[in-house]
Amino acid sequence: MLWLALHFPLLPLEALPLRQSPSAVVVRGRVVACDPMAAQAGVGVGQKLSTALGLQPGLAVFERAAARETQALENLACWAGRFTPSVSLAPPAGLLLEIGGCRRLFGGAPAIVEAVLAGCATQEYSVAWAAAPTPLGACWLAQAGRGGIYEPIAAMQAALADLPCAVPGWPAEVRDRLESFGVKRLGELRALPAAGLRRRLGNGPLDDMLRAWGDMPDPQQPFIFPEAYAQDIELPARVEHAEALAFAGQRLIAALAGWLHGRQLLAGACRLQLTHDDGSRSALTLRLAEPAADEGRFLRLLREHLARLKLAAPVEALRLQADEVIARPGASAHLFQQAVAGEGALACLERLRARLGEGAVCTLGQRADYRPEQATLAREVGAGADSSANSGMKADSDLAPFSPSTATGAANRPLWLLPEPQALAERADGPHWHGPLTLLTRAERLESGWWDAGEAGAAGDLRRDYFVARNPQGQWAWIFRDAQGWFLHGLFA
């Protein structure tokens, strides 16, 4: 096994929505976290608040919000689900990812680490990391800032032996006793007789050492991904322009994508709820052309919607909720399958719909009706097999273009149907369209529609004989004859 430990040293500060630099978080009058600008002025963890204010008079001080930290850590755990299904919380500011079984999927442990660190940077979280065969060993190395992949257990143990005894975070009484013993490194502590140490320090520190070194089992409590996804985020400041919501929305979408991967689900639509400063709320629906779990696809769709959105009032909080989710279907990929160039047709269509409006983009489907005017209808982008079956539509694969080699008559339909049938001139040698037309097929009799005769927008009762014909210029046409004469109804490509 290989555990990747992530330590977020500034989580108490980065979990707060409203903050500005320089800033610090305090508990009982002492600093527990400060941003880089405050650190440059000399502010440090453990200082009294009065000392910190003396070093940085303009310091913004916040009380620690444990609930916000827990929520931020759980959001990060959801996000980490895209890398591995085995995620564990390491409170108060850490995550554990078991990446040993996922190395081949991502191309090795370094590739996973690179992707994880890039995701943390995109969400603007400061992170320290380490990878090791034991979870506690990885956590200690990450807290000490020893970023690296210590896959051989001997390498991990050597790195642990060099860590200061303050890294594990044992109680002050234990640290004082170790200092009185003259022990400064974990390697020095491990070299002492275990029986005497247990009498003087208790079982806790020695058991921690055994778990970190891999001499004692250390099972982890797995993070349970929520049954439904709904996450909130407060904005650092009131946002008056919709485009500025993209960054905050990215954190929510990143967590959504990880949650979908962790639960093996796909989302067809999600809703972004905006809370305005006047207390009112508005909602923005992100609907995909097909269920997906791709963060980039959701983010591109969000940006398209935000580019058109006009805010009624400034926004101070966001909430993202997955409304339509389905189980990810199992499928086997082709052995030599090539990556699709570009974003794909459905992704392009959903972005066009977001840019032009819900009703501006649609696809065509067939309906089980013999009358050409009633045989097609418009449907929503990405309408699945269920909606097609309910509306009586045939599959798109049934639409076949006409070719001269398959001129058998009834089975062929043109892809270009005129809005209204065009009357043709009739002479002694038959119908004319850019010259005399040669009939290539026998008559196909269409007689249907008595049930909606007289209804608005309906074709009504039709009695027609259809033919495939060709003119002297080589153009192929679909014509019919009824009681009124000859008409051109469609053209073949």
Q: CA Rg, the chain, in Å?
A: 34
Q: How far is it, in rounded angstroms, from Cα 413 to Cα 466? A: 10
Q: In the chain, where are the structural domains located?
A: 3-16+65-213, 230-328+342-353, 363-398, 404-491
- Asked whether the predicted pLDDT for residue 236 surpasses 50, the reply is yes
The CATH number that domain 3-16+65-213 falls under is 3.30.70
pLDDT tens, residue by residue, 216-228: 999 999 999 999 9
* 44 secondary structure, DSSP code: -
Among 152, 149, 156, smallest CA distance to 109 is for: 149
- Residue 203, amino acid: N
Q: Which residues of 209-245 are buried (b: 16+ CB within 10 A; e: fewer)?
A: bbbbbbeeebeeeebebeeebebebebeeebeebeeb
Q: Are 444 and 409 in contact (CB under 8 A)?
A: yes
Q: How many residues does the chain have?
A: 493
pTM above 0.85, yes or no: no
As a whole number of angstroms, the distance between CA 462 and CA 413 comes to 17
In the chain, the percentage of residues whose pLDDT exceeds 90 is: 45
Angle at CA 165, nearest 5°, toward 164 and 170? 140
Residue with tokens 């051989």: 152
Q: What is the pLDDT of residues 93-107, one digit of tens each?
A: 999 999 998 888 889
Query: Average pLDDT for residues 54-75, to the nearest whole number?
Result: 90
Q: Are strands 315-327 and 230-239 parallel, antiparallel or unpaired?
A: antiparallel
Single-letter amino acid, residue 389: A
Q: Which two tokens stand for residue 89?
A: 């919380």
pLDDT recorded at residue 336: 63
User: What is the CATH class of 230-328+342-353?
Assistant: alpha beta
CB atoms within 10 A of CB 315: 22
Dist. CA 10–CA 124, nearest whole Å:
11
Q: Which of 228-232, 388-392, 396-400 has the highest mean pLDDT?
A: 228-232
Distance CA 282, CA 438 (A): 62
Region 233-253 average pLDDT: 85
Residues 6+ apart with CB under 8 A from 338: none
